[in-house]
A and B are shown apart, each in its own frame.
Chain A
């Protein structure tokens, strides 16, 4: 909830590159504290529950295999889901992209004559930017998940896919609720805040006849849909309205009902560090006398089929949106979610967003990682995120290679020049000579280079560079050869020579370097 100028942009087409977007967050001490605190809590809980589960890795292996099988036969499973859901009284719609999904949903709402709608938290609807679209079309969307209410009332943006208001602390929540709900005497006790949200929404649940949900899983075998949640706002939206519209990415399908025995053992433990989330709802079509009598599923592609086509990247679509990868990521811990410029932050966002955008946007995200591999280790469906990051980096670099802009990139120009220079000995020696003169200009008296111009600054911004030794290796080698021919090649003489000159002995050189760095 920082200044308006720092308002995060979560549209990949408009968001600044990651390093720039991360800056305001890195300067926001309160936000970083909030993120670190929340992550520490969740990580501790998850670690304890994963440890007690003796078959954790067998579950992960099974889950990855289930998802791979689904993805390999996705078309068939989607059609099976459609057939069974329809047979049970549901209506299935297909949307190739975000605009189509928004249009379908709006048309359904218009058919109902709805001017307001209650929503269960769905990141997919955030992905297609549904809320602003509905508002513009005159339909008021009420978020009902506590975190989403905090963001909606406080005009914030989600920074996490499971706990979207993770970056907001209790006193900030108090301020938002006190202001927007007109509760002057509200305290910052989470219990009081939760009760305020309960009262705020109760009437909406009872009055608004149309709801929008996401889906955690679609079951091809039965045509059923699964939503997991904690608060009961989901059950309200799934039970009380007359009409329910479920928006689901095409990768959400699992083949069999029994596959849920694997997925649902992994999801809550990975997501919130609980053995099971308080409520899991499974419904198939419509049931007379219980729940919405009009039920629609919108199946969304929006770039997913293009991910499916690539062998390495296909595993991205195994994701069950548990957020374990962001909770464990050292980069996310420092920057929080907004820096990723997408509703999908963290390591999964770094691979998912650029792919959903078909590398037209978010090209900086694959580089927003140290490749430490912690995300792969915790992933319940074993997505090899580092592998995909590297692959995407290669694709982004390949892409840049084919633009005219590359000639204005000093890094590109420099490396091309190096390519020419290093392949011709005379040019190399000339460049070396010229370089040594240049280096003298920037080397300080203490023998270190503290700041380099142009791209070199990327190095010296955060560390110093040792100045060049007095003599090049080539010069030393030529000298030594000449000397050995004169003296007759005494071994002790050679060793003594080298050891006496600190710039020539790698060991003493290193030591000297370390000492002077520490002294600084």
Chain B
């Protein structure tokens, strides 16, 4: 136990010594240079991070949705759009077209989405084997990012535990158009950290959960000759319904 405490002290001491007294470059290690480097340490580090990158997009809502769909399709995800009142029917159609029967749904999934005529396993605390045997899964999401075609799961009640969107081979994700932001930083604005003092966060920001998963298309690999192959260990099929709410 004492060896462990020693290592902590050793590493931190080495780090603090290094940052407290950064020496001059290579051969130019003269005393004056060292002193200047130490004194000027604070000045070397930018007081504020230059965040000159695009934080907020300027697209119209329809252009934003179009981009989201287009980028998802580039990842080989299948996307359909529907009106809020047509959602239940759209889900049923997707399930039927998939040719699968057994689906997992997270506890918080709206009852209207559980289309009749299929076997539903509702996940509260399903065994891994049960999840693995399901052929597909239906979930909601926290957010969609148009710029990179990314779906963000915060694993809330309608998004479910991480395992249910991992083992089944087919994932149907319902994204409401109002959840789609244009840029990645806009998603970050929707997340609140416990001791966050930044004013840039959105008013309605939700507390960042302990578990977050971003999904950008079906699982894939490019490990063989840099050729992108769809479907390795995660779901091989990602289907998305974009609800124009």
Q: Which of B191-232 contact A (CB under 8 A)?
A: 191, 193, 195, 198, 208, 210-227, 229, 231-232
State the Cβ distance, B12 to closest chain A Cβ, in Å.
5
B contact residues, total (Cβ < 8 Å): 79
Within B124-161, the residues touching A (CB, 8 Å) are 125, 128-129, 132, 145, 147-150, 155, 161
Q: For B118, what are the chain A residues with a Cβ–Cβ distance below 8 Å?
A: none
> Could you tell me which residues of chain A, from 123 to 143, have a CB within 8 Å of some CB in chain B?
none
Whole-angstrom distance between the alpha carbons of A239 and B25 in the complex? 45
A287 touches B232 (CB 8 A): no
User: Interface readout for A66-90 with B: 1 if CB under 8 Å, 0 if not?
Assistant: 1011011111001100000000100
Identify which of B44-52, B88-96, B97-105, B109-117 touches chain A: B44-52
Contact A261 B234 (CB under 8 A): no
Q: How many Å from the CB of B130 to the closest CB on chain A?
A: 12
Contact present for B210 and A277 (CB under 8 Å): no
Q: Do B232 and A61 touch (CB < 8 A)?
A: no
CB–CB A194/B232 < 8 A: yes
Q: Is the CB of A301 within 8 A of B14?
A: yes
Instruction: Known A235-B213, A240-B128; judge A69-B49 contact (CB<8 A).
Output: yes
Interface string of B166-210 (1 = CB under 8 A from A): 100000000000000000110110010101001000000000101
Q: Which of B23, B128, B132, B219 is within 8 Å of A232, CB to CB?
A: B219
Q: Report A-chain residues with C-beta under 8 Å of the C-beta of B19.
A: 71-75, 308
Chain A residues positioned under 8 Å from B166 (CB to CB): 232, 235-236, 239
Q: Cβ of A47 < 8 Å from any Cβ of B? A: no
Number of A positions contacting B (CB below 8 A): 107
Chain B residues, Cβ within 8 Å of A194: 221, 224, 229, 231-232
Check A305 against B211 for contact (C-beta < 8 Å).
no
Question: Shortest beta-carbon distance, B50 to chain A, in Å?
Answer: 5
- Cβ 8 A contact of A173, one of B145, B148, B224, B231: B224
Task: Determine whether the beta carbon of B25 is less than 8 Å from that of A391.
Answer: yes
> B163 at the A/B interface (Cβ < 8 Å)?
yes
Is A65 a contact of B50 with CB atoms below 8 Å?
yes
Tell me whether A197 and B232 are in contact (CB under 8 A): yes
Q: Quick check: B147 and A275 within 8 Å, CB to CB?
A: yes
Question: Which residues of B are in contact with A by a Cβ distance under 8 Å?
Answer: 4, 7-8, 10-12, 14-19, 21-27, 37, 41, 44-46, 49-54, 71, 75, 125, 128-129, 132, 145, 147-150, 155, 161-163, 166, 184-185, 187-188, 191, 193, 195, 198, 208, 210-227, 229, 231-235
